[in-house]
Every structure is written in structure tokens, then in C-alpha cells.
Amino acid sequence: MRLIFKTSLCLIFLFICSQTMAQIHNELYIEEIEEEQETLNEKYKNDDTPQEGYEQQKSEQILYYELESKQQEELKYKIKKIEYSVDGEAIKNYLKQQQVEIPAIIQDSEEEKDSTIVKSTNEAAQENKRDNHYKKDNNEQKSRTLFGVSRFDSRIEFAALDANYPEEKQMLLTAKSVGMIVEKKQLKKVSKNYYQLNTTRTLANTYNVCPETAFKEQPIAGVGTAFVIGDNQFITAKHVFEKDPKKYAIVFGYKVLNKINTVENIIAERDIYFVEKITKSSNQLDICEFTTNKQFYGIPLSIEKQKQAKFNTSVYMIGHPLGLPKKLTLKASINKADHPQYFLTTLDSFAGNSGSPVFDKTTHKVIGVMVSGELDFIFNGTCYKEKSCSPPYCLGEKVVRITSFIN
């Protein structure tokens, strides 16, 4: 009898200990999630990613909401990263599709709607104060020198840009309206709202490039570049469409995400636009304008229609060289501008840059479209090495004046 009594006491003691440990574990778990939530909230609070002029621009946010467990009454958090428009409708639609009750954080009450979907008045005031402080303390440092991957290659990742510098902030904003042209067969639908982009090929295993080649381990997926000029109007180099244009799509957001070359190959449906038809083209200029299946969610690029690009104008280019993730090409200028329809530049361009917009570095307006250039690689007997030369030994990369096509 004593043995049974002692055994019962032991079992009761163990049960109390297990419940206590479980409670401690749950409290620690909740505390950890709340700390992570505060960290991410602080990150987004201080996020300086350029969004000016994007009253209808969609962006990424983090939603936190509670789910009640059927097995136990402990509190749990589930974090879901989704993309939404400023009116919040995409959030609600997504949650309805997932058959999840819409959290109180995004209910339609007039008192909470403005403060949950967009920045609160206090946050906006703080941001304005921070911006004014930045302008006050940084009048003398409005730009910095950016360097490419080598002295002969001025391409740079967008992850390396800092939105605290006005010039780089504008470049980040401009890049949102430049996409990569891919063949439809490279996209595989994996869910209702997402596609997987085929990124199995790399620069190294496709072209047998030499070991010192920049970006050789990055995946290649595209065949050209296009940019937005209207609601659903795009421009690219005409030769990019080697097949029926309807066999192609435009993908946005394909870029290196961080300094360790992480590339996202799961693309949201909202970032994919299927080509419908060519509405205007010129064999002589090698440029075409085309429409897509839906309206672009962002802002079309600004086009320079007044002044002509002149000799020695500083320029930059945004595109997908060799089908790589999006790159910014800097430290270039116009080295010949005596032709009325095109000019030559010192831009480091490659196959895949065809259709890339070329910008005036001062105004950030499109002044031309990249259509052709020098040979990209030369075979050295073992592997393919990037060809590098400068005027007068190389003529330069040909850019068609945007006014020659639009006007």
C-alpha cells in the first residue's frame, strides 16, 4: 500500500513538473516570437526603400496573427509573408483563399483601417523628422563612388545600393520598372499565386567561362530585358523575340537578395506578365513595343523626349546580362553621338542586356535602348574569357535613341 502511495506521489510530482516545464517552454516560445516581431517591426519602421510616388504601388509586409490550437489552449503565432496593395484588399483576399479568419489587425473599422494598412500619423511624422535630419546632416554627402566587380567590369548588384543616398535611391526606384524576358516554358506554376523559375543553369555550367569570370555561379534564366512605358506597354529589342512573342513572359524582381548571392526563384504571379502582341516595331532600329495580359502595378519609366543625348554624357543601364539576376551598370558615358538615331557608349553590356533601358545619370530618364555591342567572350584555348577593351580599340555598345522610336 505504501509502495502504491509513493508511486502515486511520484507520478503527481512528475506531472506537475511536466506541466510547469511546458508552461515555461510556451512562455519562452511566445517571448521569442514577440522579440522577433519587434525586431522585424523596427526593421520595416526604418526601411528607406524608395516608394515615393507609389500611391498604388504594392510592396511586401509581414503580418502576425493568432491561431487557436485545437489540441491545446496555448497561444501560438504564425508569420505569413504576403504582398499587398495599399488598400489592403490583397491581404483579405489571400486570407479568404486560405480559409483563415481575417485578424482584427486588418478589419475594416474606420478607426483601425488607416493605421493598420498604411503608416500611422506618428510613424509618418517620425519618418519625416528622420528624413529632415538626414537632409540637414548630409548636405555635403549626397552621393558616393560605387565600384563594379573589377576595374574592367562596372556591373553591380542592387543589394549593394544604399537608399540613404539620393542617387542610389532613385536607381532602386527606377529598377522596379525593368524586367527580364523569359520563355514561358521556364516558368512552372507551383500554386495558385506563385510560379517557380527554372534556375538550374548557371553561367559556369552553360558557357564554360573561365574561373575568374564575374557572377559565374549565379543562375541564368532570361533571354533579354524589357521596361515599362505605359499601363501595359513595354519596350525591348526586337531580336529578343526569336519565337512567337506569346511564348514569352516578363518577370520582375529577379535579383540577388543579399551579399551571399541568394536568388529567389519563387515568383509571385503579380510579378509575371505574359506577352500578348507586338503593337509597334522597327527592323531598322531593332526595337519593338508590346502589350501584356495585365496592367503593370508600378510606375512607368520617365522618357527623355526633349533634349538629345550628347557626347560625354554620363549614363547607366539596368538589365539582365546573360540572363543573370538584375544588374546595374555604371561608370560609363557616350563616346560617340553624331548619328541621329543611335549613339555609342562605354557600357559593359552582354547578351541579355538587349532591350535594357539606358539612363541619363543626371536626370534618371530613359535616353536609349541597348540593342547590340562588341563580342562578349573570346576563347583562350581552355575556356571563354570576358573580352575587355576601350575606345579607340573598340567602337562601343550601340544604343538606339528612345526619341527615334517613340517620336
Of the residues 320, 354, 356, 376, which is catalytic?
354
Of the residues 153, 154, 177, 286, which is catalytic?
286
**Is 354 tagged catalytic?**
yes
Q: What are the helix (H) ranges across 199-332?
A: 203-207
**Amino acid (one-letter) located at 211:** P
CA distance 406 to 320: 23
CA distance 150 to 147: 8
In three-state secondary structure terms, 333 is: strand
Contact 391, 333 (CB under 8 A): no
Of the residues 59, 85, 239, 333, which is catalytic?
239
Please state the separation of Cα 66 from the chain's center in Å.
Answer: 30
Copy the grid coordinates of residue 21: 516545464
| Alpha carbons within 13 A on the beta-carbon side of 37 | 15
Whether a cis peptide bond, with omega within 30° of 0, leads into 392 is yes
Q: Which pairing describes strands 272-282 and 155-157: parallel, antiparallel, or unpaired?
A: unpaired
297: left (phi over 0), alpha (psi -120 to 50) or beta: alpha
**Residues facing 82 on adjacent strands:** 61
Residue positions annotated with a catalytic role: 239, 286, 354
